[in-house]
Amino acid sequence: MQHTVLVVDDDPHIRQLLVFALGKAGLAAREAEDGEAALAAIAEVQPDLVILDINMPRLNGLDVCRKIRAQGDLPILFLSSRDDEIDRVLGIELGGDDYVVKPFSPREVTARVQAILRRASASAKAPEDRPQLAQGRLKLDPDSWTATWNGADVSLTVTEFSILKALMAAPSKVFSRDQIIDRLHGPGFAITDRTIDSHVRNLRGKFAALGGQDVIETRPGVGYRLGPCLGEPA
Which tens digits make up the pLDDT trace of 52-100? 999 888 899 999 999 998 888 899 999 987 666 777 777 887 888 888 8
Alpha helices in the chain (DSSP H): 12-24, 35-45, 61-71, 85-93, 106-121, 158-169, 177-185, 193-208
Candidate from 8-12, 39-43, 144-148, 205-209 with smallest mean pLDDT: 144-148
107 by Cβ neighbours in 10 Å (0-12 / 13-18 / 19+) ranks as exposed
Q: What is the mean pLDDT of the chain?
A: 86
Kindly report, residue by residue over 105-153, the tens digit of the pLDDT.
999 999 999 988 987 776 444 444 556 899 999 999 887 888 999 999 9
Q: What is the pLDDT of residue 233?
A: 54
Which overall architecture, per CATH, does domain 125-226 show?
Answer: Orthogonal Bundle (1.10)
Which CATH number is correct for 4-121, 1.10.357.10, 3.40.630.30, 3.40.50.2300, 3.30.43.10? 3.40.50.2300
Task: Measure the CA angle with vertex 39, ends 190 and 96; round to 5°.
Answer: 25
pLDDT value at position 40?
A: 95
Nearest to 109 by CA among 45, 210, 228, 14: 14
- Kindly state the helix (H) or strand (E) to which residue 224 belongs, with its residue range: strand 223-226
* CA 46 and chain centroid, separation: 17
**Per-residue CA distances from 224 to 117, 121, 158, 160, 172 (Å):** 25, 25, 19, 14, 10
Q: Are 51 and 113 in contact (CB under 8 A)?
A: yes
Q: CA 172 → CA 202, 219, 224, 227, distances in Å?
A: 22, 12, 10, 9
Beta carbons of 56 and 10 less than 8 angstroms apart: yes
3 state DSSP class of 20: helix
Q: In the chain, list all ranges with CATH 3.40.50.2300.
A: 4-121
Looking at the chain, the domain(s) classified CATH 1.10.10.10 span: 125-226
- For residue 232, pLDDT over 80 is answered with no
Task: State how far the Cα of 55 lies from the Cα of 72, in Å rounded to an integer.
Answer: 22
**What's the residue count for the chain?**
234
Structure confidence at residue 124 (pLDDT)? 46
